Structure 1
């Protein structure tokens, strides 16, 4: 091969990287590790059941008095200002009805919202392999690795989704590469180790145009240097990256998730219940600990039922595949007021809800009245 035609890496003696192919090592290469006998290499994440923890008992109900609310949370002036802002947020709405209306009644429909959050941790081990670049080997056959749920992992910020991958101690070892048989390179699949292939111009004939002109591309030889291996006849193994050896270890994927159970006591007042998820309320009760206990003494028994239902659902759904690290629950009172008013001798109404004083007025009389 002409040195002037050599690739930039040729001086190092390393052939180009081979195309991707089957890279998973056979199961026979994996060491038998106590507590990790059933795991494989690659594939989907398979989360293991956590240690058994007791489910909180209903006998420890929270004893906290909560005030009942039955008066409007806003006055007439705030109700009017909320509707004026609502009209101004819509380009085609006139603010005249909001400014000129006569308020007849403020009718409160204050609603309770219960919310439970469970912050969970899941763990999935699997064998991993990568090219060996003098990584630390800690598996000497006489130290047992810690079980999956005893591997120390720092817990991130509570109630926020996160994911971390860590190497399990005492599982790392070095083995010869299964694909290249420890050589670091494999046969080129295009030239079959010859380093040359048929010329793509003359298709191996050496001549062009019916055999009258010699092919200038291959100088009449009918062969050219293989571009896939640059004439080396072999390619760098894409599994070990030319190292000839692989570094094996068990990797633990730790996943943290925040699960939420939320329900609102719907008073069937006409306000779409889904709107309440976008506003905040007055916090009447809150508790946070490793395992929260069902609320038992809230004035509205429906909140007590929601609390018991939510806690039971979370332990049933997540307790078998995840470890519940922390729980918190709270009760909010969401202010909701229905405003009845009159404008141009016609009766109308709208809702003002949430601490933010959001407005729901699907039948606002000033629609499509704004001057453009």
Structure 2
């Protein structure tokens, strides 16, 4: 899950706690108030041409061997069904305990997964009330290139988002909302300091009592509660500080992009269930850039590897920096269980190392048609 991290070193990299950052426009356009407020102008940054690391030398091709599915016993198959039945309110356990298992057909399928851990950077202008006179950086220091800002990357293949300031990018200007006054006209009384009396509705008289309105002393108007009669209120943009500090904000996103493929198993079994279970890891390759798998006993896996690497390279190489890649192959066990109950044949499947169950037509059901764990 993505989360935000705070910098703990250079003060230029530390967003001040409690200060909401509102996107703004570059300082050259600070007179365009609407552009500042709406925050247009944020743009993604293409990565530098030189990658942070180089892929290692291509290793010798692994010699793939045919892997066998771990054996399933009748006792384990029955126990898996009993756990499945216990998790269903409308399934009876008697059939699971009394059924006669006729055949255990050991099957398996391969799952290929490619993970590409990438880093992308977005530059946008932000501002905050300027509360530290004399703290602005003197002109002349050129802001760092956003890709030159050094940050600590999270653990590999774990997504995060981090926001920080680009050093030397701060500029101080009068608040565009109040034009440097620190206060703005009250929107309730429109600067008058007084509003129509809600009791007499501005008529000055209480019609039912036939006397002057006591709440407004017969004036028909009363002091504005929003601005306390001043006609203006503290500017919400600069919070009364009169000035804003504009700075470039860097949004860094680390993302784990996943490509997954499960080979065809030709069973009466929903393939999407296999994404929820684990299998036996039979191959793992990790590097800055991995190479396509070839000569795997299941040709579909080799083709999936070639397609995945090509797709990730086309999708991420030009818009982000690829930090690491990892490809794995898992063997997911599937057992087809044929059994009899009350003289009729039935079938259910046990899949994954967790021994999950998919029951097509469990014989003892009383209300709903739940079949999947």
Same fold (TM over 0.5): yes
Partner of 1:49: 46
Distance 1:257 1:114 in 2: 19
1:137, 1:174 within 8 Å by CA — same for their partners in 2?
Answer: no
Q: Secondary structure at the match of 1:275?
A: helix
Deviation at 1:321? 1.8
Relative to structure 1, the CA distance from residue 70 to residue 182 in structure 2 (aligned partners, 3 Å threshold; closer, same or farther) is closer
Deviates further, 276-285 or 301-310: 301-310
1:62, 1:295 within 8 Å by CA — same for their partners in 2?
Answer: no
Partner of 1:337: 335
Partner of 1:282: 280
Deviation at 1:133? 1.0
Q: Secondary structure at the match of 1:334?
A: strand
Per-residue deviation, residues 132-176 of structure 1 (Å, max 9, x unmatched) = 111785643322212122212221232222211100001012111
Partner of 1:168: 166
Distance 2:205 2:83 in 1: 84
- Structure with greater Cα Rg: 1
Does structure 1 residue 145 correspond to structure 2 residue 143? yes
Deviation at 1:125? 0.9
Deviation at 1:245? 0.8
2:159, 2:254 within 8 Å by CA — same for their partners in 1?
Answer: yes
Distance 1:170 1:305 in 2: 49
Q: Secondary structure at the match of 1:296?
A: coil
1:62, 1:293 within 8 Å by CA — same for their partners in 2?
Answer: no
5+ residue gaps in structure 1?
Answer: 1-22, 32-38
Deviation at 1:357? 1.3
Deviation at 1:98? 3.4
Deviation at 1:359? 1.6
Deviation at 1:184? 0.9
Normalising by structure 1, we get a TM-score of 0.80
Distance 1:331 1:26 in 2: 48
Deviation at 1:70? 4.4
Distance 1:201 1:48 in 2: 59
Normalising by structure 2, we get a TM-score of 0.80
Partner of 2:268: 270
CA RMSD of aligned residues (A): 3.3
2:24, 2:124 within 8 Å by CA — same for their partners in 1?
Answer: no
Deviation at 1:309? 0.9
Per-residue deviation, residues 212-244 of structure 1 (Å, max 9, x unmatched) = 523212223344222222122322112211111
Distance 2:141 2:298 in 1: 58
1:48, 1:122 within 8 Å by CA — same for their partners in 2?
Answer: yes
Alignment of 1:115-264 (within 5 A): 115-134=113-132, 137=135, 139-209=137-207, 213-264=211-262
Relative to structure 1, the CA distance from residue 61 to residue 267 in structure 2 (aligned partners, 3 Å threshold; closer, same or farther) is farther
The aligned length equals 341
Does structure 1 residue 78 correspond to structure 2 residue 44? no
Distance 2:250 2:115 in 1: 25
Relative to structure 1, the CA distance from residue 254 to residue 96 in structure 2 (aligned partners, 3 Å threshold; closer, same or farther) is same
Partner of 2:318: 320
Deviation at 1:341? 2.7
Per-residue deviation, residues 274-297 of structure 1 (Å, max 9, x unmatched) = 111111111101122222222224
2:24, 2:37 within 8 Å by CA — same for their partners in 1?
Answer: no
Partner of 2:9: none
Distance 2:133 2:298 in 1: 61
Per-residue deviation, residues 270-327 of structure 1 (Å, max 9, x unmatched) = 2221111111111101122222222224222221111111111111122222222222
2:41, 2:125 within 8 Å by CA — same for their partners in 1?
Answer: no
Q: Secondary structure at the match of 1:302?
A: helix
Distance 1:40 1:198 in 2: 32
Distance 2:229 2:177 in 1: 21
Q: Secondary structure at the match of 1:291?
A: coil
5+ residue gaps in structure 2?
Answer: 1-22, 368-373
Deviates further, 334-343 or 62-71: 62-71
Q: Secondary structure at the match of 2:44?
A: coil
Deviates further, 314-323 or 119-128: 314-323
Distance 1:135 1:289 in 2: 49
